[in-house]
């Protein structure tokens, strides 16, 4: 049985949600202690100050511990994840966004295929069962990018761009270093896992999409850039 789950949370201007996300992360029972690593990507809305406060009040707790790292310039989600990945020490590692789109209550169903040795990596799919939960253009764009990634990498996924990626930590460490600064981190991770022939399975998850006026950050420009990332990382080590 695994003993520690590392939870990595990139944060950029999420003062409205970060405290509730952290509460949900702490509350979910996965049968393991949790190493929670948050990386603030030079937030300007008070998130940094809130994280410093949360780090203080969550010191020396039973069942989990928290590390917070701070970027001095804004670099992007990929850069924040790369910083977090350098510090993970748990048996498994999961990525959690700092907004409320993803629910940690889904973690047990993601962990099960690794505990049963069915998978090396588990993706939480927003679209395998309930595509109506996302806006049409978001869904269509994701399906296109996922299909392109599948063709290029010779895999079969329904949601390559999902936040929820759960790894055996040695598997994650084996694909480092990663290079992407922004949202190219998703196709980069997927391409490197595919090259190494790791077993990737999906499990359906709940998803509550937020919109740009609520703080959503990925744009159509990131979608266009993802096409280049998919092709580049297929042939780049």
Bridge partners (DSSP) of residue 95 are 8
Q: Averaged over 6-14, what is the pLDDT? A: 98
User: With pLDDT > 90 as the criterion, what percentage of the chain qualifies?
Assistant: 78
Closest listed residue to residue 217, CA positions, set 123, 78, 105: 78
CATH class of the domain at 4-235: alpha beta
- Please report the pLDDT score of residue 217 as a whole number: 54
Bridge partners (DSSP) of residue 67 are 37
User: With pLDDT > 70 as the criterion, what percentage of the chain qualifies?
Assistant: 89
- pLDDT exceeds cutoff 90 at 56: yes
- The set of residues, in sequence order, having a beta carbon less than 8 Å from that of 93 and lying 6+ positions away, is 5, 6, 7, 8, 85, 166, 167, 169, 172
- Please report the pLDDT score of residue 97 as a whole number: 97
Residue 211's pLDDT band, with cuts at 50, 70 and 90, is low
Residue 137's pLDDT band, with cuts at 50, 70 and 90, is low
- Please report the pLDDT score of residue 86 as a whole number: 98
Average pLDDT in the chain: 91
Residue 214's pLDDT band, with cuts at 50, 70 and 90, is very low
CA distance 130 to 127: 5
- The set of residues, in sequence order, having a beta carbon less than 8 Å from that of 116 and lying 6+ positions away, is none
Residue 212's pLDDT band, with cuts at 50, 70 and 90, is very low
Q: Which range is least confidently modeled, 71-75, 117-121, 137-141, 205-209? A: 137-141
- Please report the pLDDT score of residue 184 as a whole number: 93
């Amino acid at each position: 049985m695994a003993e520690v789950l590392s939870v990595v949370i990139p944060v950029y201007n999420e003062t409205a949600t970060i405290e509730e996300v952290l509460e949900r992360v702490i509350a979910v029972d996965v049968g393991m202690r949790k190493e929670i690593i948050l990386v603030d990507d030079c937030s300007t809305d008070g998130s940094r100050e809130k994280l410093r406060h949360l780090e203080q009040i969550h010191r020396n707790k039973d069942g989990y511990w928290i590390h917070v790292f701070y970027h001095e310039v804004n670099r992007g989600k990929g850069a924040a994840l790369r910083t977090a990945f350098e510090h993970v020490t748990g048996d498994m590692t999961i990525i959690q966004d700092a907004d409320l789109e993803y629910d940690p209550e889904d973690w047990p169903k993601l962990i099960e295929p690794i505990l049963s040795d069915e998978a090396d990596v588990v993706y939480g799919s927003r679209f395998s069962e309930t595509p109506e939960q996302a806006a049409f253009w978001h869904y269509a764009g994701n399906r296109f990018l996922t299909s392109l990634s599948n063709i290029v990498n010779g895999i079969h996924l329904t949601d390559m761009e999902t936040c929820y990626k759960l790894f055996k930590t040695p598997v994650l460490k084996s694909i480092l270093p990663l290079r992407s600064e922004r949202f190219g981190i998703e196709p980069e991770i997927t391409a490197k896992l595919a090259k190494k022939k790791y077993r990737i399975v999906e499990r359906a998850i709940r998803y509550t999409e937020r919109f740009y006026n609520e703080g959503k950050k990925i744009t159509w420009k990131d979608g266009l850039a993802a096409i280049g990332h998919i092709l580049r990382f297929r042939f780049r080590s």
